[in-house]
Amino acid sequence: MRQFSADYLDRTRRGMWADSRAALADLDLAGRERVLDVGCGTGELTAVLAEEAPDATVVGVDADTDLLAVARERVAGDRGDPAAPSHDDRVYFAAGDATRLPVPDDSFDLVVCQALLVNLPDPAAAIREFARVSSDRVAAVEPDNGDVAVSSTVETEASLSATARDAFVDGVATDVTAAGVADTFAAVGLSEVTTRRYHHEKRVEPPYSEADLRDASRKASGAGLADHETELERALSPAGYDDLRRRWREMGRAVVAQMQTDDYRRVEVVPFDVTVGRV
């Protein structure tokens, strides 16, 4: 499974649920009693689930204990005992592998994940495990990384983003397009499988936030590409990656220059599918 830093998760998941939670409507959260968030990372979705399921106990599970420490601080307010509950005794976190969950059969009435299956070499193994521990529903919120659209006031940004995105999709070891999730749900025995597509829009415009300024700096330094250097080199060759990084840094410097005069605008639209099935 691919590994991510807390900073990376914050940058990529930032704001996804801030504007609308309509994508969670099919999860029937208001009536849930026990909800499991698998691959919870730093707890962004865990917090949303706790808000939208006000009577439920919500448990976040992740194999990365460093990310869990961030999640506990962010969501649960826990600074000490890793087994301690949140301030309202409803949100808990535990270490565990998505394909070997440390809970008994039928322990939850909803098991959900966000941007997890696209990073697993065998997503079907995880979905089977979700079905084992759920007594009712299984859901997956997965991005289609191959269909992201970018527009920008920097002339080269959209084309360079498309080049990097296509190379990443070709070079990564898993299916990051979320294709076939519904078929996999059905193949492991889930019924009443539905998929709805939503679009998450990320805008950058004046006044720029601290996060916007950091992202621009990462473009200008080439650090933004370095997150995916292995995958990009696999698709492009080391020389091809170096050339892309050079052009990326030039584009980043243009972004910084436009920000200095409040002229920079960028819109990124990320499509994601919410797939739900009944056990």
Given a contact cutoff of 8 angstroms between Cβ atoms, the answer to whether 157 and 133 are in contact is no
Per the DSSP assignment, residues forming a β-bridge with 125 are none
| CB-based contact 68:93 (threshold 8 Å) | yes
Per-residue confidence band for 223, with pLDDT thresholds at 50, 70 and 90: very high
Confidence at residue 11, expressed as pLDDT on a 0 to 100 scale: 53
**What does the pLDDT look like over 115-136, one tens digit per residue?**
999 999 999 999 999 999 999 9
Please compute the mean of the pLDDT values over residues 169-177 and round it to a whole number.
86
Asked which of 39-53, 170-184, 258-272 is least confident by mean pLDDT, the reply is 170-184
Q: What percent of the chain has pLDDT over 70?
A: 90
pLDDT for 79: 37
**In angstroms, rounded to a whole number, what is the distance separating the alpha carbons of residues 196 and 33?**
24
Query: What pLDDT was estimated at residue 13?
Result: 58
Q: In the chain, at which residue ranges do the beta strands (DSSP E only) sit?
A: 34-38, 57-62, 91-95, 108-114, 134-143, 149-152, 191-204, 266-278
The tens digit of pLDDT for each residue in 8-41 reads: 555 555 567 877 899 999 999 999 999 999 999 9
Block residue for tokens 């801030």: 18
Burial per residue of 173-206, b for 16 or more beta-carbon CB atoms within 10 angstroms, e otherwise: eebbbbeebbebbeebebeebebeeeebebebee
> What is the distance between the alpha carbons of residues 157 and 148, in angstroms, rounded to a whole number?
13
For position 113, what pLDDT does the model report?
96
Please give the C-alpha separations between residue 37 and each of 44, 48, 102, 107, 171, in angstroms, as whole numbers: 10, 10, 13, 13, 28
Mean pLDDT (the chain, rounded)? 89
Distances (CA, A) of 10 to 67, 70, 80, 126, 235: 11, 11, 23, 24, 26
Give the pLDDT confidence score for residue 81 in this predicted structure: 42
Say if residue 224's pLDDT is above 80. Answer: yes
Give per-residue pLDDT as tens, 99-112: 999 999 999 999 99
Amino acid 82: pLDDT: 42
Residues 279, 143 contacting (CB under 8 angstroms): no
Report the C-alpha gap between 145 and 148 in whole angstroms.
6
The yes-or-no verdict on residue 85 having pLDDT over 50 is no
Instruction: Write phi, then psi, for 108 (nearest 5 degrees).
Output: -130, 150
The yes-or-no verdict on residue 4 having pLDDT over 70 is: no
Mean pLDDT of 51-61: 94
Asked whether the predicted pLDDT for residue 87 surpasses 50, the reply is no
Number of other CB atoms surrounding residue 67 within 10 Å: 23
| DSSP strand pairing (266-278 vs 149-152) | antiparallel
pLDDT of residue 3: 55
